[in-house]
Amino acid sequence: MVASFDTHVFWEALSSGPYWKGALLALGLTVASISVAIVIGFLLALGRSSRLRAVRGFVFFYNWLFRATPTLLQLLFIWDALPQLWPVFAGSWFTPFLAAFVALSLNEAAYMSEIIRAGLLSVDPGQELAGRALGMSRRQILRRVIVPQSIRIIIPPTGNEFITLLKLTSLASVISVHELLTAANEQASVAFKFAEVYGAALVYYLAMVSVLMLLQSRLERRFTFTSAGRRRRVAAPAVPAVSHDAR
Amino acid sequence: MSRDAILRADAVHKHYGDLEVLRGVTFEVGRGEVKVIIGPSGSGKSTLLRCLALLEEPDAGQVSLEGRRPGRGEVGMVFQRFNLFQNLTALGNVMIGLTEVRRLPKREAREQATEFLARVGLKDKAGQYPDELSGGQQQRVAIARALVMRPQAMLFDEPTSALDVELVREVLDVMEQLANEGMTMVVVSHELRFAHHVASSILMMDEGVVIEEAPPEQFFSAPEHERTRRFLALVE
Inspect the interface and report whether the beta carbons of B97 and A135 lie closer than 8 Å. yes
Q: pLDDT tens digits, residue range A96-133?
A: 999 999 999 999 999 999 999 999 999 999 999 999 99
The answer to whether B196 and B187 are in contact (CB under 8 A) is no
Count of Cβ atoms closer than 10 Å to residue B180 Cβ:
10
Cα B125 to Cα B88: distance, rounded to the nearest angstrom: 12
Q: Does A122 touch chain B (CB under 8 A)?
A: no
Nearest in space to A155 (alpha carbons), one of A126, A118, A127, A124: A118
3-state secondary structure of B186: strand
Residues of chain A with pLDDT under 50: 230-243, 245
Residue A239 is assigned to a structural domain of this protein: no
Cα A239 to Cα A41: distance, rounded to the nearest angstrom: 14
Residue A2 is assigned to a structural domain of this protein: no
Q: Does A234 touch chain B (CB under 8 A)?
A: no
**From the CA of A139, how many Å to the nearest CA of chain B?**
11
Count of Cβ atoms closer than 10 Å to residue B85 Cβ:
25
Pairing of strands B184-188, B60-65: unpaired
Residue A245 is assigned to a structural domain of this protein: no
Q: Where do the H-state alpha helices sit in chain A?
A: 7-14, 17-48, 53-68, 71-76, 82-85, 96-121, 125-134, 138-141, 147-168, 180-191, 194-222
> What type of residue sits at position B95?
M
How many C-alpha atoms does A170 have within 13 Å on its Cβ side?
17
Q: pLDDT tens digits, residue range A133-150?
A: 999 999 999 999 999 999
Cα B126 to Cα B130: distance, rounded to the nearest angstrom: 10
Q: Which residue of B has its CA nearest to A136?
A: B101
Residue A237 is assigned to a structural domain of this protein: no
3-state secondary structure of B99: helix
Which of A133, A225, A232 faces B53 most closely, judged by CB atoms? Answer: A133
Q: What is the pLDDT of residue A246?
A: 53
Residue A12 is assigned to a structural domain of this protein: yes
Q: How many A×B Cβ pairs under 8 Å?
A: 73
Report the CATH number that the domain containing residue A205 is assigned in CATH: 1.10.3720.10
Q: What is the pLDDT of residue A231?
A: 45
Which chain A residues contact residue B146 at CB under 8 A?
Answer: 133-134
Burial of B45 (0-12, 13-18, 19+ CB in 10 A): buried
* Chain A interface mutation, best of B85, B93, B132, B138, highest count of A Cβ atoms under 10 Å: B85
Q: What is the pLDDT of residue B67?
A: 87
Number of residues assigned to chain A: 247
The answer to whether B9 and B46 are in contact (CB under 8 A) is no
Cα A45 to Cα B46: distance, rounded to the nearest angstrom: 31
pTM of structure: 0.86
Count of Cβ atoms closer than 10 Å to residue A201 Cβ:
22
**From the CA of B92, how many Å to the nearest CA of chain A?**
11
pLDDT in tens, chain B (236 residues): 445 788 999 999 999 988 899 999 998 999 999 999 999 988 999 999 999 999 999 999 999 998 888 888 899 999 999 999 999 999 999 999 999 999 999 999 999 999 999 999 999 999 999 999 999 999 999 999 999 999 999 999 999 999 998 999 999 999 999 999 999 999 999 899 999 989 999 999 999 999 999 999 999 988 888 899 999 988 87
> What type of residue sits at position A197?
V
Count of Cβ atoms closer than 10 Å to residue A207 Cβ:
11
Q: What is the pLDDT of residue A227?
A: 76
Count of Cβ atoms closer than 10 Å to residue A126 Cβ:
16
Q: pLDDT tens digits, residue range A56-67?
A: 999 999 999 999
Sheet holding B19-30, edge to edge: B19-30, B5-16, B60-65
**From the CA of B162, how many Å to the nearest CA of chain A?**
14
Q: pLDDT tens digits, residue range B127-181?
A: 999 999 999 999 999 999 999 999 999 999 999 999 998 999 999 999 999 999 9
> What type of residue sits at position B130?
P
Q: What is the pLDDT of residue B3?
A: 52
Q: Which string of DSSP letters, residue by residue, matches B61-77? A: EEEEETTB---TTSEEE
Boundaries of domain holding A200: 7-231
Cα A184 to Cα A200: distance, rounded to the nearest angstrom: 8
Nearest in space to A225 (alpha carbons), one of B125, B91, B86, B122: B86
Burial of A151 (0-12, 13-18, 19+ CB in 10 A): middle
Q: DSSP assignment, residue B182? A: T
Q: What is the pLDDT of residue A181?
A: 83
Residue A91 is assigned to a structural domain of this protein: yes
Q: What is the pLDDT of residue A2?
A: 63
Count of Cβ atoms closer than 10 Å to residue A112 Cβ:
26
Residue A246 is assigned to a structural domain of this protein: no
Residue A1 is assigned to a structural domain of this protein: no
Task: Evaluate the CA torsion angle B129, B134, B137, B142 in order and state its sign.
Answer: positive
The count of domains in chain A is 1
